[in-house]
Copies of this chain bind each other. A is one copy, B any other.
Amino acid sequence: MAAEENVVESTDFPVKENNENGISSVIPGWFSEISPMWPGEAHSLKVEKILFEGKSEYQNVMVFQSSTYGKVLVLDGVIQLTERDECAYQEMITHLPLCSIPNPKKVLVIGGGDGGVLREVARHNSVEKIDICEIDKMVVDDEFSHDLLSLTGLGVAFLKAVPEGTYDAVIVDSSDPIGPAQELFEKPFFESIARALIPGGVVCTQAESIWLHMHIIEDIVANCRQIFKGSVNYAWTTVPTYPSGMIGFMLCSTEGPPVDFKHPVNPIDENDSQSSARPLKFYNSELHTAAFCLPSFAKKAIGSKAN
């Protein structure tokens, strides 16, 4: 009955049989997300129809209609967002920083060409100016976000040209540190952000998963600890279509009025929001505080350096 010595023919996932966007020719009609960033596992979504497919100056861009997650935006074969669960990522990456300071006025978004973060920033009545730097014009123009955005730019270069102390908050909505977003995980970039922020200003960056990339997270935390003299914290949220089903954020503040990220001082009331198009689906003040509670294994690895 037991097949104890039944050795399965163990091959690599047939990446070469997927096209560059991850559409599988092995499993017709399914998209499979395969990457050296998460070896040995793959998440697949059933495709109803490809809505956009192209190769930009920086990356492969695809939007498809999925069977059960709505429209899906894919960059270089990696899912960036789906209509069904984008609320978790967009609301958390935006409101964790903006609800932690009393009166955000000037906000810079780096990446985020899909427009979701902009939609969330616009809920804050205090915000007077939003700048956005998206490296890839095609992401802005694609079928997912073409009616949301028209402004693009290069985050790293843009930050260098910005006068010191310009922004109350910077949100870095980047893809993984393989490909065009690599610089957004390195120390010089964090130094530019710190320079561009007012005293007591805040930054929130996409910071990978504690289940998959603890070594990357430890490096980011160590860098941030050197650069941001206010506070350095790690938070996380559930996002079903991201690898390991979750994603983390680094939340840091510059020297100045102290920022206690765990206790939001600027709660957002959905009834009171400028953007009445759609109520908040995910974020609330209790979840804000809970997002900073880490499993013990993660607390041990990064807790002495943050939180």
Contacts and interface: CB of A to CB of B under 8 A. Distances in A.
B211 A85 contact: yes
Contacts of A55: 1
Contact of A27 (B6, B14, B212): B14
B281 A2 contact: no
B52 A32 contact: no
Contacts of A39: 46, 67-68
A50 B211 contact: no
Interface residues of A, number: 76
Interface in A41-99: 41-55, 64, 66-69, 84-85, 87-88
A151 interface: no
A26 interface: yes
A162 interface: no
Interface string A179-214: 000000000000000000000000000000101100
A35 B165 CA distance: 53
B284 A299 contact: yes
A41 B44 contact: yes
A13 B42 contact: no
Interface stretch (A112-120, A127-135, A238-246, A250-258): A238-246
Nearest to A211: B240
A153 interface: no
B293 A289 contact: yes
Nearest to A281: B297
A154 interface: no
A7 to B, nearest CB: 5
5 contacts: A1-B54, A1-B55, A41-B45, A281-B296, A282-B295
Give the 5 A-B residue pairs with the shortest CB-CB distance, closest first. Answer: A245-B245, A40-B68, A40-B67, A290-B290, A290-B293
